[in-house]
Amino acid sequence: MNQNNIEEPKDEFELGKVIVFDKPLKWTSFDIVNKVRYLLRSYRGLKKIKVGHAGTLDPLATGVLIVCTGKKTKEILSYQEHTKEYVATIRLGAVTPSYDLETQIIPQSDASHITEKDVVDCLKTFLGEQLQYPPVYSAKKIDGKPAFLLAHKGRGDEVKMRAQQIEIFDLELLEFDDMNKEFKVRVGCSKGTYIRSLAHDFGQRIGTGAYLAGLCRTKIGEILLKNAVTIENFEKMLAESQK
């Protein structure tokens, strides 16, 4: 014990661990945090362990989610400052209120005339620093409350989102599906960038409407998806450590 009779943490997760998860589809970021906390209580007996994530990932997105435990939770803000990389699937010819598949699809303009070259040329116009409006269906606070709460109550039209300064420094077309008029693009961007907003804005600019049909975060700073663990493997690791 130290001079204040406070017992020093002994478990490695209390001392602090940074765990890189591959977040599964339909899990919220807080679902992962709560699951980690539950597992640490169950397998390690840590009743008051600090656990937090370093950057929200939407439920309909997969990929890199950084979770910090114990004393490492003090580093969460530093991870949030890092640049991000995503692989996004964007579908043309329709929009949704949430800019992704969370809400109903509303057909817009016919996209049959859009070519791969059209997509590449339009993507180029999004490179660089710019102002971007977050989706109404987001956790951005409006008068102290998350905007999505108003949106889900059908009051989305009342919400006035504030533009955010962001930077998109890399856009690479990976695939173009001419039959279904959707494409995959690798996006390198600053913190605070909403890929859902990018998809929506792309649709407005190219003239057909568009929404985000799929999203995977592949990188945060130098932390890569290939080095991430699943929540199932994390639980197996904890179980093995108790044998």
Tally of domains within the chain: 2
- Band of the pLDDT at 217, cuts 50, 70, 90? very high
Burial zone of 192 (CB within 10 Å; 0-12 exposed, 13-18 middle, 19+ buried): middle
The reply to whether 63 and 100 lie within a common domain is no
Tens of pLDDT along 202-216?
A: 999 999 999 999 999
Residue 235: pLDDT over 90: yes
Instruction: Give the CA distances from residue 179 to residues 63, 154, 182, 183, in Å, rounded to whole numbers and listed in that order.
Output: 27, 34, 8, 11
Mean pLDDT of the chain: 91
pLDDT band at 38 (very low <50, low <70, confident <90, very high): very high
| One domain for residues 91 and 209 | yes
Catalytic residue (one of 22, 31, 58, 177): 58
Whether 1 is covered by a domain: the verdict is no
Q: Which among 205, 243, 210 has a CA at the least distance from the CA of 123?
A: 205
143/190 same-domain check: yes
Residue position matching structure tokens 């940074």: 18
Write the pLDDT tens digit of every residue in 42-92.
999 998 999 999 989 999 999 999 999 999 999 999 999 999 999 999 999
Same domain, 148 and 37: no
Same domain, residue pair 210 and 96: yes
Residues 207 and 92 in one domain: yes
CATH code (residue 199): 3.30.2350.10
* pLDDT at 6 exceeding the cut of 60: no
Q: Is residue 30 a contact partner of residue 53, using CB atoms and an 8 Å limit? A: yes
Query: What range does the domain containing 101 cover?
Result: 84-220
**Is residue 136 scored above 90 in pLDDT?**
no
Residue 4 placed within a domain: no
Q: Residues 48, 166: one domain?
A: no
Q: At 2, is the pLDDT very low, low, confident or very high (cuts 50, 70, 90)?
A: very low
Identify whether 58 is a catalytic site residue.
yes
Q: Which residue has the higher pLDDT, 232 or 160?
A: 232
Rounded to whole angstroms, how far apart are CA atoms 56 and 24? Answer: 13
- Does residue 148 sit within a domain? yes
Same domain, 134 and 191: yes
- Phi and psi angles of residue 108, each rounded to the nearest 5 degrees, phi first: -120, -125
